[in-house]
Amino acid sequence: MSNKYIGQSVKRIEDKRFITGKGRYTDDIKLLGMTHAAFVRSPYAHAIVVSIDTSAAQDMPGVMAIFTGDDIKATGIVGVPTGWQVNFKNGDTMKEPPHPLLVATGSTVKHIGDPVAVIIAESYAAAVDAAEMVEVEWEDLPAVTDPMKATQEGATLVHEDAPGNLAFDWELGNPLSEVDQAISESAHVTSLEFVNQRLVPNAIEPRAYIGQYDEVSDKYTLYTSTQNPHLIRLLMCAFVLGIPEHKVRVLGPDVGGGFGSKIYHYTEEALVTWASKQINRPIKWTETRSEAFQLDAHGRDHVTKAEMGFDADGNIKALRIKTFANLGAYLSTFAPAVPTYLHGTLLQGLYTTPKIHIDLQAVFTHTVAVDAYRGAGRPEATYLLERLVDLAALEMGKDPIQLRKQNFIPAFDGVDQPGYQTQVALQYDSGNYHGVVDKAMEMLGYEEFRRMQKEASQNGKLLGVGFSTYIEACGIAPSAVVGALGARAGLYESAQVRVQPTGKVSVYSGSHSHGQGHETTFAQIVADKFGIPMEDVDIIHGDSDAVAFGMGTYGSRSLAVGGSAIVKSIDKVLEKGAKIAAHKLECSEDDLEFDEGKWTVKGTDKSISFGDVALTAYVPHVYPQGLEPGLDFASFYDPTNFTYPFGCHIAVVEVDKETGKVKLNRFIAVDDVGNVINPMIVDGQIHGGLAQGIGQALLEGAIYDENGQLINASYMDYAMPRADDLPMFELGRQETPCPHNPLGVKGAGEAGCIGSTPAVVNAVIDALWSGGHKVKDIMMPLTPERVWTAMQQ
Amino acid sequence: MAQITVKVNGKEHTSEVEPRLLLSHYLRDVLNLTGTHIGCDTSSCGSCTIHMDGMAVKSCSILAVQADGSEVTTIEGLATNGQLHPVQEGFKECHGLQCGFCTTGMIMSAADFLNQNPDPTEAEIRHALEGNFCRCTGYHNIVRSVQWAANAMSEGVIE
Amino acid sequence: MISYAFDYARPTTVEDALAQLDDDAKLLAGGHSLIPALKLRLSAPAKLVDIARIPALKGIRQDGNELVIGAATTHKEILSSDLIKEHLPMFAEGAALIGDPMIRYKGTIGGSIAHADPSADWPAMVIAAEGTVVVQSKSGTRSIAADDFFTGFYMTALEEGEIITEIRFPVPAEGTRMTYQKFTQPASRFAIVGCAAVRKPDGSARVAFTGVSDAAFRDTGVEEAVGDWSTAAIEAAAAKTAEGMELNVDHFASEAYRHHLARVYCKRALVAISE
C-alpha cells in the first residue's frame, strides 16, 4: 500500500490518444474485405408491410446481398429480448412481444425507422444508393404515441396480444388504503400532474458495428460501440442468434459516450453479425445522426399524478403516485426495470415519509423504445419529490430548505448506526443529508440572495433560486436482489489482476469505459495497493476474449462494483505474494507487513520487493512447497447492497420578463458520492451530469406528433446545451464512505443529472413568484414560450 | 471522378474522388486520418472540425473536391515537431475531455479561436465554442482548458 | 449520409459559371445549407457549380456612394471588415450571430439570400439597409431591390440561370443608426425572430424582420408609426409589427408567441437606435 495516487487528481492516461486523434472508435476500424450496410426503414410509425420488391436494388452496382424481414423470419430468428421481467400486479407474465431484426411482410412496423430490409454493398455509398431502390408497399395505420391515450378504451394496439397497450402494471410501497387514509387525514395536500418528458441521449458518437465471420475457426467477431461487450455477447448468442458464446468475440473499442443508450442490445448488432456469415465478408454499419434520433433508446417519458400530504407542522405524512411510463414499441434491454425498480424504489427520497404508494402502468406506444438514460428512473423520482416539496413550501408559506430539513432522515453511517429501511424496498447504506444542504447553502449565501432577489424584483427583474436534494441507488447491484426483482442476469462484476514476471500489472476489467477514465482511476487503485508506479499498470477492457466476463458500465457502477472486483483480486495477489515473500525471507507470513511496494519483516530492515516476489512466482526455484507458480487472480464481486449517493443542488436563474427566456446564472452542486479516488474525474462526471439535467429542464425534449413522426429528429430542431448556455459550475463535496464495499465508494456518473433538473425548474418558479406570478408548474423543457405563457396567466 | 490535390498535415496527396465525397470521409476513409470524427449530418455538432487554409471549418459540410488546392490540418497534424499544441495540453491538464469523441473538433475550433483572440474572456470562449457539441463535460473543463492554453501561449510556457 | 452522385465544376469567372449553369445544375457557395440538404437527399442536382472562389464575387468595397459586397463574401469577412464596421455596423453585429465560427468562415451573404431560409439573418439586414441585389445571367445583368427580392418560403425573385454577383447598399448618411436584434432558436441558432432597424438622420426608419413569416419582409407599418422616436411612439410602432400577417409556427414558437417576440424585438431594436 502507498498513498501516492488514491485521492489525487491524476491526469488521465487515456487522454494522450484522444487529444492527438489516435482514439480508436468502431467507425475508425477498417477490416480487409469490409462491406457496408444500409437499412430500408419505415417512414411510418405504424403500417403493414404489404410487400417488398428488392429487384431494382439487387441490380445496383456494388450490391452484395439484400436481406428482408422474410429472410430473417425463415431462419427462425425471432428478435432481440429484454433483460428484465416485471410481472403484472395479478401475477400474470409481462407482455413481451418479439422485437424482430427486420419486420417481415404481413407484419407491422411499430415506430419511425423500424427496418424492413438491409442492403450490403462494397461501399457505403453503394449501399445507400441501393437502399433507395427497394420498393416497399405500406398500408399506413393510425398510431398512438401518448402513454395515457394508449391505455384508453379503443386505442390502437401496438401489439395485438397486449390489450390496453399494457406491458405490465405494477405497484410498490405501503398498502394503498393506508396511503389513501394518510392523505385524507393530511392538513395540507400538494398535488401536481406533470410530464417528465422524453429525452434523446445523443452520445456524440453514433452507434457503429462491424460483424466479421471467420470460416476456418467458425468464429464471429463483433466490434460494437457498447457500454457492455459481454452482456451483448450473452444476449446475442443465447437469446437471438443461438450461437455458442465461445464462438463469438465481442470487442468494444473506444466508445464516444453512451449515457445509457449504448447499454442495450440493438437489432443491428445481431444483424451484421449474422449477415457476415451469410456473405462471408465483414460488414460495417454506422448510424447517421438522423437514425440515432429515431433509433437509439430514448429516456424518461413519464406522465405522473403525484400527491404529498403534510400535517399542520409541515411533516410529510404520505405520498401517492400514479404514473404512466411510455416504454415505446418494443421492450429494450433494461426498459421494464427503469420506471419500477429504478424509480418506484427511490420515492422515499431523503424524507421520513411514513406512507408511500406508487401505481404504475407500463405502456406500449408507436415510438422508439424508452430505456435507461443517465440517471434512469432516479431523475424522475427526484423530480417528482423535489417539485412537490418545493411547491408545498410555496403553498404553505414555508421556507423550502427548512421544510426539507425538518423531514430529512437523520444522519447514519451504516456501521455503528444501521442502514435506513425505506417504505419502498431499499435500505440506504449511509447518509448525512443535512451536511450537503448546509454546505450548499453556505456556498449560495442564502440571505444575500434573498436580499438581491427583493432588490431585483423592485427593479422589475425576476431572479429565482431553486433547490433540490436527491438520493440515488447505484452501484447496481446485488444479484440476488435484482434477480428477485426480475433481472435475467446477475449484476456483479469481474476483474483479473495479472502480475507479470517483471512486476508490471495487467488488469482485465469487465467494466467498460465510454468516457469515465477507468484506465486512470483503476490504475490509481492498483498502483497504490501494490506500491508501484501507475506506469506499471495497464487496464484492459472491452474484449470478451481477453476479459473473463463483465456486466459493463452503467448505473454508476464501475468503481463501486468493478473497482471492488479489482480490489478482491489485488487482495488475493497480496495474500499469495506474502506466502512467497515469507518463504524468501524465511519468516512467517504473520511477521510481514506490506508497504510501499515491499514486504518487510516487522521490526527489521529485511524486505523483498513486489517485483522480486512477482519474478519468484514465475521462476519458482526457491518457492513454498505446494504453492502454484504464477501471480494472477480473477475475482467476481457481487455487492451486498446498492450504494446511495446523495446531494443538494441549487440553481440561480434570471427570467427575461418580456420573452420568458431563462438565464442560468449560477449552479451549485454539493454531492456526496462516498470516497473519491480521483477528484478531477469525479468533478468531470458531475459537470457532465449537470449539463444533461439542466438540458432537460430548459432545452431538451423529443416531440412525436400524433402520427408518430419524430418532428425534432436533428440538431437543427432538438435543442441541447452548448457552451454558452451554461455557467461555470460551483461544486462542493462531502464524503460519507459506503460501508459495504472495500473502497467506500458510491458512484458519481449520474448524480449531476439526477439533482439538477428540479433545481432549475424550482428556480424558475421561484423567480416568477418573486414577480407575483403564482405559477404552480411549467412543463419541461421550460422554453421561453412556456415561461412567458405562464406569466400571462 | 475528379482528381484533387490536397496538402494535408504538410503532405501533398493526389486522389481520384467522386464529387459527392465529403472532405470528412476523404480524410477518414482515403487518408486514414480517423481523428476527424463525424457526429451529425446537419453541420451542427462540430466533431469534424479541421483547419482548411488557416480557418476552422466543418469538414462534413465541405466536399473533397472543394478542398482541391487547399492546405488542410487535422488533429493528427496539430502538434509540431512532437510538441503538442497548447490547446491539446490544456485539454489534458484541465480534464477537458471524457469520451474523446467531440474532443478533436473541439480542440481544432479552440486553436483557431485563440489565434484570433489570444486573451479571451470566459464568455468569449463559450461563444466561440457554440459550434461544437460536447455531451460529457458540461463544457466547464473545456472552458478551463482553453483558458489554460491561452495563458500558456501568452506566458510562452509552450511554444 | 451521402448525397446522390453529381458532377462538379469550379469555374474561375462569372461567365464560366454561367456557361456551366444548365438546367439541372445548382450553384455552390459556402455550401452549409446546400451540402447538408444534399446529404439528406432532399435535393438531387446533376451538377454543382462552385462559385465560392471566383475573385469577381468576393470582397467589400466602396463604389462612390455605395458599399458593394461581393456575393461570395463570407460572414466572417463581413464581420471583420473595417468598411462594414464604419458604415454598416449592423452587418458586423448581425454576422457575428450567424451559425457558429466555422459556419461564418464558409457561409456567404449571396448564398444566404439566394437560399432565402425564412429564418436566416441576412435577409432582414439586407432589406433594412436598402440593399440592391445585382444578378447576372447569360443575357446580361439586372438589379433587384431587396424589398422585392424575398418572395416567399425559400423563394426569391431570382430566375433560372441567374447568379447573384453583388449586393449594393447606399452609404448611410452620417448620423444614421442601425442594429440587428435576434432571438435565437436554441438548436439551429437561426432566428426565431430577427429585427433589423435603421434610423436615418431625418428621423425616418427602415425596419425589416426575419423568422417571423414565410419570408423576410420590410414592415412599413412600424416605420410609419415610429414618429418622434419617443418611448410612447416606439411602443406604438412595435405594437404594429407584422400586423395582419400570417406568421410562422413551430415547436419553438406558436403564432401568438412569435408575434409577441417580434414586437419585443422590434421595440428593443428601435430603443437601441433611438438616441
For A172-191, how does the pLDDT look when each residue is reduced to its tens digit (9 = 90+)?
A: 999 999 999 999 999 999 99
Task: Check A125 against C261: CB less than 8 A apart.
Answer: no
Min Cα–Cα distance to chain B from C143, Å: 29
Distance CA B64, CA B1 (A): 11
Number of domains comprising chain C: 3
Q: A645 and A631, same structural domain?
A: no
pLDDT for position A88: 97
Taking CB atoms and an 8 Å cut-off, how many pairs form between chains A and B?
Answer: 184
Q: Positive or negative CA dihedral for A263, A268, A270, A272?
A: negative
Q: A687 and A576, same structural domain?
A: no
**Per-residue DSSP letter, B11:** E
Amino acid letter, A86: V
Q: C163 and C120, same structural domain?
A: yes
Span A187-206, average pLDDT: 98
Distance CA A13, CA A519 (A): 6
Tell me the CATH number at C59. Answer: 3.30.465.10
Q: Positive or negative CA dihedral for B63, B69, B70, B74?
A: positive
Residue A699 confidence (pLDDT) above 50 = yes
Residue A362 confidence (pLDDT) above 80 = yes
Span B28-35, average pLDDT: 98
**Per-residue DSSP letter, C143:** E
Residue A60: alpha-carbon gap to chain centroid = 42
Task: Check A728 against B122: CB less than 8 A apart.
Answer: yes
Span A536-546, average pLDDT: 97
Q: C190 and C260, same structural domain?
A: yes
Q: A215 and A280, same structural domain?
A: yes
Tell me the CATH number at A652. Answer: 3.30.365.10
ipTM of the complex: 0.97
Interface of A with B in 685-744 (CB under 8 A): 685, 687-692, 714-716, 720-724, 726, 728-729
pLDDT band at B155 (very low <50, low <70, confident <90, very high): confident
- Is residue C94 included in any domain, yes or no? yes
Q: C158 and C72, same structural domain?
A: yes
pLDDT digits (tens, 9 = 90+) for A750-772: 999 999 999 999 999 999 999 99
Distances (CA, A) of B132 to A77, A550, A590, B127, C192: 41, 34, 58, 10, 21
Joined together, the cell numbers standing for residue A502 give 517483471
pLDDT for position C1: 82
Amino acid letter, A218: D
Joined together, the cell numbers standing for residue B131 give 459550434
pLDDT digits (tens, 9 = 90+) for A210-220: 999 999 999 99
Subunits in contact with chain A (3 or more CB pairs closer than 8 Å): B, C
pLDDT for position A2: 82
* Mean pLDDT rounded to a whole number for chain A: 97
Span A12-38, average pLDDT: 98
Last residue of a domain, one of A618, A637, A656: A637
Question: Which residues fall within 8 angstroms of residue A274, CB to CB, at 6 or more apart?
Answer: A75, A77, A101, A211, A241
Q: Which residues of A fall below an 8 Å CB-CB distance to C?
A: 124-125, 128-129, 132, 288, 290, 658-659, 661, 699, 703, 711-712, 715-720, 725, 783-785, 788-789
The residue segments making up the domain with residue C17 are: 7-50
Q: A324 and A246, same structural domain?
A: no
Span A502-526, average pLDDT: 97
Q: A281 and A228, same structural domain?
A: yes
pLDDT digits (tens, 9 = 90+) for A425-451: 999 999 999 999 999 999 999 999 999
Please report residues of A whose CB lies closer than 8 A to that of C253. Answer: 785
Q: A272 and A362, same structural domain?
A: no
pLDDT digits (tens, 9 = 90+) for A556-571: 999 999 999 999 999 9
Last residue of a domain, one of C170, C192, C223: C170
Last residue of a domain, one of A578, A607, A637: A637
Q: A715 and A579, same structural domain?
A: no
Q: Please report, for chain B, the start and end positions of each structural domain, with discontinuous segments joined by +.
A: 2-77, 86-155
Q: A411 and A338, same structural domain?
A: yes
CATH of domain B2-77: 3.10.20.30
Joined together, the cell numbers standing for residue A696 give 432537460
Q: C238 and C213, same structural domain?
A: yes
Domain B86-155, architecture per CATH: Orthogonal Bundle (1.10)
Residue with cell 456556498: A443
Last residue of a domain, one of A607, A637, A667: A637
Q: A537 and A470, same structural domain?
A: no
The percentage of chain A sitting over the pLDDT mark of 70, rounded to a whole number, equals 100
- Is residue C2 included in any domain, yes or no? no
pLDDT for position A793: 86
Span A352-360, average pLDDT: 98
Task: Check C188 against A290: CB less than 8 A apart.
Answer: no
pLDDT for position B157: 55
Q: C62 and C166, same structural domain?
A: yes
- Mutation site for C-interface testing, chosen from A293, A788, A792, A793 by largest number of C Cβ within 10 Å: A788
The percentage of chain A sitting over the pLDDT mark of 90, rounded to a whole number, equals 98
pLDDT for position A273: 98
Q: C144 and C62, same structural domain?
A: yes
Distance CA B132, CA B127 (A): 10
pLDDT for position A713: 97
pLDDT for position B159: 45
Last residue of a domain, one of C149, C170, C191: C170
- A409-430 burial, b for 16+ CB within 10 Å, e for fewer? beebebeeeebbebbbbbebbb
The residue segments making up the domain with residue A100 are: 31-141+205-256+262-295
Q: A510 and A546, same structural domain?
A: yes
pLDDT digits (tens, 9 = 90+) for A445-493: 999 999 999 999 999 999 999 999 999 999 988 999 889 888 988 899 9
Please report residues of A whose CB lies closer than 8 A to that of B34. Answer: 21, 24-25, 27-28
pLDDT for position C275: 77
- Is residue A5 included in any domain, yes or no? no
Min Cα–Cα distance to chain B from A207, Å: 10
Please report residues of C whose CB lies closer than 8 A to that of B132. Answer: 100
Distance CA A62, CA A39 (A): 15
- Tens-of-pLDDT digits for all 275 residues of chain C? 899 999 999 999 999 999 999 989 999 999 999 999 999 999 999 999 999 999 999 999 999 999 999 999 999 999 999 999 999 999 999 999 999 999 999 999 999 999 999 999 999 999 999 999 999 999 999 999 999 999 999 999 999 999 999 999 999 999 999 999 999 999 999 999 999 999 999 999 999 999 999 999 999 999 999 999 999 999 999 999 999 999 999 999 999 999 999 999 999 999 999 97
Number of domains comprising chain A: 3
- Is residue C1 included in any domain, yes or no? no
**Per-residue DSSP letter, A562:** I
Span B43-61, average pLDDT: 97
Q: C152 and C96, same structural domain?
A: yes
Task: Check B39 against A289: CB less than 8 A apart.
Answer: yes
Q: C123 and C42, same structural domain?
A: no
